[in-house]
Structure 1
Amino acid sequence: MARKPDKGIRERILTVASSLFQEHGPDGVGLQQIINESGCGKNVLYREFGSKDELVVAYLDRCRQDWFDLVQQTVRPLADDPAGQLIAIVGAVAERSEAPGFRGCPLRNSLPSFPEHDHPARRLIVDYHFARRDLLRELAEQAGARDPRALADKIMLLIDGLHASGAVLGEQGAGETAVAFATEAVSAAVGGSRVATPLGDSRVASPGIPA
């Protein structure tokens, strides 16, 4: 009797590879280690992913999607408050960056592994960062910022700073300060009274793996 194909094998391989890439980086993980830990054969892995590069791209795409899922969950309660959404995004990143085991943004961390500008992994990483900046600019425009580009760039720099400092400082990071800076920047950009911290707190709960 022929063995039925394991419909979850691709997801299992990707989950194992994602955990290993997250911990060691793409350069620090070999395919044999992924094969051993996922419990699949070499032929099965190559059936699902034609090469290590293809597997890395799938991992990075998962990280990219995790980020946008985080954003959507964070801003959903503030659908009519784009200024508050910008602050809430910084709060979500702040909380995540101070969580145990945080290692920084996996997309940015993976960039040095792909110096070729036309490599699919590098293109995905660059496209992700442009898309993230475009999203922040759109929210800044909706909030009525006098200079949406400048406000979006300030928020982006805060996010990148949290990713960098959180990987080193952990729970001793500058999350509360980053949220305060974000609130001040948004308030100054939109004019008028000081913008209230979303949900009445300096932090916004955030799920998912670090990204």
Structure 2
Amino acid sequence: MPTSAPTPAPARPASPVAARILDAASRRFAADGIRTVSADRVIAEAGVSKVTFYRHFPTKDALVVAYLTSVADAERAAVDGYRAAHPADPRTVLDAYAGVLGGAACLPGFRGCPFINAAAEYADPSHPVRAVVAEHRRWMVATAAELLTELGVPDATAAAEELVMLRDGAMVAGYVGGPEAGAAVAEHLRRAAAAIVAAHRATAS
């Protein structure tokens, strides 16, 4: 993996108490899933009262939205950091992103992509949680398309959609395949992504 760039911190809640609640929720949601973690469990882990919890997050769904937004902010900050460090090298940025995904899949307790998991737990496409998921996917596709355009890949938006689908599969493989699969995710992702890029270039030639 290429040398990583310094990455700006994602936005945090203005209140330290809200940040503590969000940190507690993030740990539990990542480890146990969203639906199985009650507001009472987050309240207990954060060490706050119910009144304090609901003052900052009127509903559990509001907390879930904040959780996913914080994950999205962190991912965007990381990619922005790589792009700032390698402004003329989109291939390195894509390679770094693949490395980050592969590293995440190797971590103990990895449960797959939080956005895919949230979409599975919230079936209503009009729900605010699904809106955060949809917005993050739009960002992923748009960012990949920009990088592919910089690489001179024809039909960059279609290729970007394929890369995001590949990323989804890599996250699932890292989860269901266990640590053994996770260790190979980054390399498989790089090779498959290179094949997608090559296929688009061959089609246009």
Normalized against structure 1, the TM-score is what? Answer: 0.80
Question: 2:124 pairs with 116, 128, 136, which one?
Answer: 116
CA change 1:145–1:83 in 2 (3 A) is: same
Larger Rg: 1
How far did residue 139 of structure 1 move?
A: 1.2
CA distance in 2, matches of 1:80, 1:105: 29
Moved more, 73-82 or 137-146: 73-82
CA change 1:79–1:171 in 2 (3 A) is: farther
CA change 1:145–1:137 in 2 (3 A) is: same
CA distance in 1, matches of 2:42, 2:75: 24
How far did residue 69 of structure 1 move?
A: 2.0
Normalized against structure 2, the TM-score is what? Answer: 0.82
What percentage of residue pairs aligned between the two structures are identical? 31
Check whether the contact 1:90–1:182 (CA below 8 A) recurs between aligned residues. Answer: no
Which residue type is aligned with residue 158 of structure 2? A
Which residue type is aligned with residue 38 of structure 2? G
SS at match of 2:177: helix
Moved more, 166-175 or 96-105: 166-175
CA distance in 1, matches of 2:96, 2:200: 16
| Equivalent position of 1:62 in the other structure | 70
SS at match of 2:29: helix
Return the structure number with greater relative CO, CA threshold 8 A, min gap 6.
Answer: 1
| Equivalent position of 1:140 in the other structure | 148
| Equivalent position of 2:171 in the other structure | 163
RMSD of aligned Cα (Å): 2.0
| Equivalent position of 1:95 in the other structure | 103
| Equivalent position of 1:202 in the other structure | none
| Equivalent position of 1:35 in the other structure | 43
How far did residue 82 of structure 1 move?
A: 1.8
Check whether the contact 1:35–1:42 (CA below 8 A) recurs between aligned residues. Answer: yes
CA change 1:83–1:134 in 2 (3 A) is: same
Which residue type is aligned with residue 181 of structure 1? A
1:140-174 Cα shifts (integer Å, max 9, x gaps): 11211112123212321221111101112243223
How far did residue 41 of structure 1 move?
A: 0.5
Which residue type is aligned with residue 183 of structure 1? A
Check whether the contact 1:133–1:153 (CA below 8 A) recurs between aligned residues. Answer: yes
Which residue type is aligned with residue 132 of structure 1? M
CA distance in 2, matches of 1:85, 1:118: 33
Check whether the contact 2:149–2:156 (CA below 8 A) recurs between aligned residues. Answer: yes
Could you tell me which runs of 5 or more consecutive residues in structure 1 were left unpaired when the two chains were aligned.
1-6, 192-211
Question: 2:192 pairs with 181, 186, 194, which one?
Answer: 181
| Equivalent position of 1:81 in the other structure | 89
Moved more, 101-110 or 154-163: 154-163
Check whether the contact 2:82–2:93 (CA below 8 A) recurs between aligned residues. Answer: yes
Q: Please tell me whether residue 130 in structure 1 is matched to residue 118 in structure 2.
A: no
Which residue type is aligned with residue 107 of structure 2? A
CA distance in 1, matches of 2:99, 2:40: 39
How many residue pairs get matched? 186
Q: Please tell me whether residue 17 in structure 1 is matched to residue 36 in structure 2.
A: no
Moved more, 150-159 or 134-143: 150-159
